[in-house]
Each structure stands twice: as C-alpha cells, then as structure tokens.
Copies of this chain bind each other. A is one copy, B any other.
C-alpha cells in the first residue's frame, strides 16, 4: 500500500458557519493507494474527536498503526488496491491542520482563544477545498465513525451530488444534552486547571506532563466510549494496589486503566484543540441551516448506510434509526445495521470484524 502524508496550504479564505473566516489555512492529510486515471476510485475517511489523518499504515517510529488500519489496506474492506483513500486532519485539531495553536497570519503568534469556533459543516467545507485542489470532484464513498460519522452525514446533506455512498457509524443527527454533559466535564476541567492559563500556556508545556484538566475530562470520555458490560469484561472488580483494599487511594483496575490512558492522552493532545473540537461536536445539528431535519435529510441523493452499535452509550442506536426511518418513509436509498456488540461506542474502532463484510458489500 502506497502511503503519502502531506500538508496543503490554502491562501484563499475558508468561510465559516459563524460568519468568520480562516485565512490562510492548512490541511494535513494522508492518502493510501493510487488515484486512477479518471479519478473515480476515491474514498474519503473522516476521523473522530481524538483521531487524525493517520488512519492506516505504520509510521517508522510508531508502535501503533493508524486508527482504522484494520479496515484500510491492500485486500482489506476499504481495499487500497482498488481505492484511493483520503483522510484529512480536521481544522481545529492539533495534528497538522490549522487549529487554535497555529500562527495567526501574518504573525506567528498562536490564535489560542481568538481561533474561530468551527463546526462540522466547516470541517467538511475545508475537506471540499482539499478535494478540489486534488482535482477530485466525485467520491465513491465517504465513511466515518462518531464525529467522523457526523461529517459523513453532513457531507450527504450539504453536498448531495458528491458521493455515491455515505457510510456513517456510531453517530447521530444532532448531539443530545447527554453527550454535551459528558463533554462538559472536559470543558470545565480544562478551563479551571490553573496550568491552562486561560489558553495562554506555553506551546510545549504539556509534552512531558499533560494538562491534568484534559486527563480528567478524558476520564469522562472513556466512560462514554465504553459500556458497563465491556468494563465488566475488561476490568471486573480487580483491585491492583499493593496496599490493600482499605487504602483511600488504592485503585481498581478500571481506575489504573483510566489514569494511564488519560495521562498519555493529555501529553499528546492539545487542550485548546480539545475545547474547539468538543464545541464542534456539541453544536452538531444536521437540521441547522435547513427548515427541519426532514428538509435536510430529503436533500440526500447518495446511497446512505447507517451502522450503530447496540451498547453505544454516547450515540444510541435509536438516533441512527431515526434517520433511517425518515429516509425509508421518504423513499430514499438507505440501509441500517445495528451491530450487536458489548464494546460500547468504541466498537466502531474495535470490532471491525462485525461490520467489515458490510463495508465490502457497500463498496463492491
């Protein structure tokens, strides 16, 4: 599989939903496989909150492959022998695309809290610019899970002629207060952390020791990505402290897992980017800009494929089913699969074997 990692720079403004503009801006992206002559073999992959454009393959220095490596590659469900796969880092993120810690042109001073709020609509508008710059005007498919699934849905509504197929996993039509509440833990924990300094932290401040507030917020994130049953299976009531059960700060295995993973995460993710991306998730509402959800959904011309996970506690299966039912009543092309899983929301990253075949079928 041929992998190319690049950053594209755009000097024309990106008009944002807020009315503000981003200018100039950069989009980091990766491609897998090769573009065919008539550019008819493109699949766009969209990433989730903490993801990046590194969706597949292994960098030399890395221990872990891209976040959907099990799905993207030669002879895999998204077959890079056939398809040219593109994945971009969303604007607002911290892995190469323009975000709050990028320089505010022409100065090199980072935007920080002056960065404009970006939405899911803005994220896909930026991706449209990238695709145009590559001379790509039609896609075989757009696929993504969680916030990536939101992007896929928004593409379907905003650009009805763009893609043959839309595959949205573990997402929703509008973020519910339940999810906003989970995100609120991170928002408050980051804002109230004295080291956050109201966004004026040193750029390298958290490389050695991550921001506590982000790690704390991420604990709430992990809860929402898992499920009660997956935690039973993974951790049970195992206790891992040498000091015994009656030490106040003695830890259950689930606590050790949360501490370890969230501390790592806080070292590699930028707190301002986290706030901005969480805001994009909170404000996601397919019907915004249209008369109603029905009006938005009615615009869709692509074949829609919705995949939910039975124990997803962040975006519940009913939410995807709601879109499916609306499209079905409306006579639009739509399939819906509820994957039986104990893995919770994270199933879209973990239990690939349970929907791998469906993706192959769709792309055939």
Contact A228 B185 (CB under 8 A): no
Residues of B within 8 A of A254 (CB): 177, 180-181, 184
A280 nearest CB across to chain B (Å): 10
Contact B182 A228 (CB under 8 A): no
Query: A113-B248, A245-B283 known; A216 and B188 CB under 8 Å?
Result: yes
> 0/1 per residue, A249-292, Cβ < 8 Å to B?
10011110011000000000000000110010011010000000
Give the segment of A57-65, A75-83, A157-165, A231-239 that binds chain B: A231-239
Alpha-carbon distance A118/B322, docked complex (angstroms): 47
Residues of B within 8 A of A252 (CB): 177, 180, 282
Number of copies: 2
Contact B232 A181 (CB under 8 A): no
Contact B116 A219 (CB under 8 A): no
Q: Is A13 positioned at the interface, with any CB of B under 8 Å from its CB?
A: no
Alpha-carbon distance A223/B176, docked complex (angstroms): 12
A236 nearest CB across to chain B (Å): 7
Query: A188-B259, A223-B182 known; A176 and B228 CB under 8 Å?
Result: yes
Contact A116 B237 (CB under 8 A): no
Contact B117 A246 (CB under 8 A): yes
Residues of B within 8 A of A253 (CB): 177
Count of residues in A whose CB is under 8 Å from the partner chain: 59
Residues of B within 8 A of A255 (CB): 180-181, 184, 187
Residues of B within 8 A of A223 (CB): 178, 181-182, 185, 220
Q: Is A222 positioned at the interface, with any CB of B under 8 Å from its CB?
A: yes
A352 nearest CB across to chain B (Å): 24
Q: Which of B117, B178, B220, B226 contacts A247 (CB 8 A)?
A: B117
Residues of B within 8 A of A338 (CB): none
Contact B236 A177 (CB under 8 A): yes
Q: Is A316 positioned at the interface, with any CB of B under 8 Å from its CB?
A: yes
A265 nearest CB across to chain B (Å): 13
Closest to A245 in B: B283
In A1-44, which residues have CB < 8 Å from any B CB? 17-20
Contact B232 A176 (CB under 8 A): yes
Q: Which of B222, B249, B279 contacts A248 (CB 8 A)?
A: B279
Q: What 10 A-B pairs are tightest by C-beta distance, nearest first?
A: A18-B246, A177-B254, A178-B228, A177-B231, A192-B212, A117-B246, A177-B235, A181-B223, A189-B216, A185-B219
Cβ contacts A to B, 7 pairs, < 8 Å: A18-B246, A19-B246, A176-B232, A177-B236, A177-B252, A184-B258, A185-B220
